Chains A and B, each alone.
Chain A
């Protein structure tokens, strides 16, 4: 589904990603871990198409198609979703209206009519229940005055609504207490299927107790320095990142 080949990318000549190789197949959950500044969030943004980053070498393929000339919205229409570490506040636009806009724009891109209102309402009800979201919450302005936990839950609600093929969760666990973490992880797990894939980006192993990955990759200085199964995450938790930094030098 996603193939990242020798990806080099950066901002204004500063290279942040130094040759990333990553392949994700349908049904898989991958986790990328790494210390602060290792390039985790940059990788997430580059896959989602943020224009600020320049790809200097390598490529990103999605469903066999090179994404180089593809805008973020087109990537979204193809089924890539990015859950933000810091979701943006949009005053005056309710969660419901925002979702209607997003869904209908995606449908328009696929040549479909707007989703009928009753179907939309049913979908919103179903997905908000999945994430234990109060109905009142849906009429509030998007992310405005939301707590950290509410913002993250709302991100996963959007993911549930948009049903992406590949969901990238960027530090979804940061700022969450244990109850909120459980609800969010539960929501993500219910959305797992053999047809979609998830890329979890996290600093800590905690989230991976709830969203159990098939593969774990460690990012350091813009490179994947080690890959393994979920046991690697536990090892990292025990030994910290320094152990790997040393190993990568060797």
Chain B
């Protein structure tokens, strides 16, 4: 069994190990989860190094032919008659997402060190969910992809419904039903693509050689794009996100906003645009328009929020808009920006939800007006929250900027199939969000952490504990590293986006 399979198996084995533990050994359960995810982080590092070695060797020898090449591929036939196989591998985009997920799950476990009720089931479900996420990112067989996709989405219902707060049953139900509706569209799309190709295979790389009829693509593209768009918080299918995130427990919010929402952008790019380039050309401008609404609407919506979780959820709607906006630009710069934004937003929003959990654990309120002056008593949390906030408003030197400048430049550069004026107008509208984002980030954080202490009891509160420092420290470091050394991620993503660009341009 190869490295990539271990990426999927390790969290599952950890989940099983957790389940087998007796409920009363809370410490042991936590430690197993931490060790399992920590080991996964190490494994991811090994895989990254391995990938890097192979890819740079190819870069020297293969030229442009390497773009469509997958690395560390493992293939085992599954249902031979239907052409379904267990096909996993890695390219730059997948690897990027695997690194993101690995970081988020480790820091998420660290941030939920103090979960009290049913810790065993909680960690087991969390790890199962993450198994599905890893599976999605490394699958290159559409059927396998869909199976993992469902594994990733379903445990969310229980995680929110059981461990959540507030109107958790309502939120869990809404989230699950909306995402299921999205899945239904995706399934329809995948089956249509399978049948239409006539190849009797679900292998993504083989399907990507098929030129589907234009009329077919026109109809199937929006179905698949919207199906993924639901998970990527595409307007107007985003409303599961504020409620879902607000009700979910800390680690689940982190994972959900940080990673799961990225499945939407990932699928939209990998399946919708890659397999149906003509459909994308037909609908690109339409979806650019919708995502521009996302970007502005989310950021204006965030200004008015009083609850820190709703605040961050609306900010996510805006930032995830950048992902789909980048995808819809259909050029190299924009789509690269979309992938970088997925990574950057994942880390950033993971940090936010983690920090909100930590602050809530101390103040027992999430309402912004009830807080104030926390900077004095919790300097670590303040500094990390501000760094996250600055990343979210696109401050250069942090990862958000790298993504946003790509997306803006991509939108502004236009593509041969859409009116360049329309694309530019939409891009300029989208850039306005950098101001609105600054407004809500500074208003929110300024109120919570600066100013006079709102409540005398706050003076007795403590700063971050060691696990919390590890968790937030890793996330902040990632934001800084990507922001200061953007070539690390750019060099990873660019070759992987190239085949999509080439296919749009009608090149093999």
Q: Do A and B come from one complex?
A: no
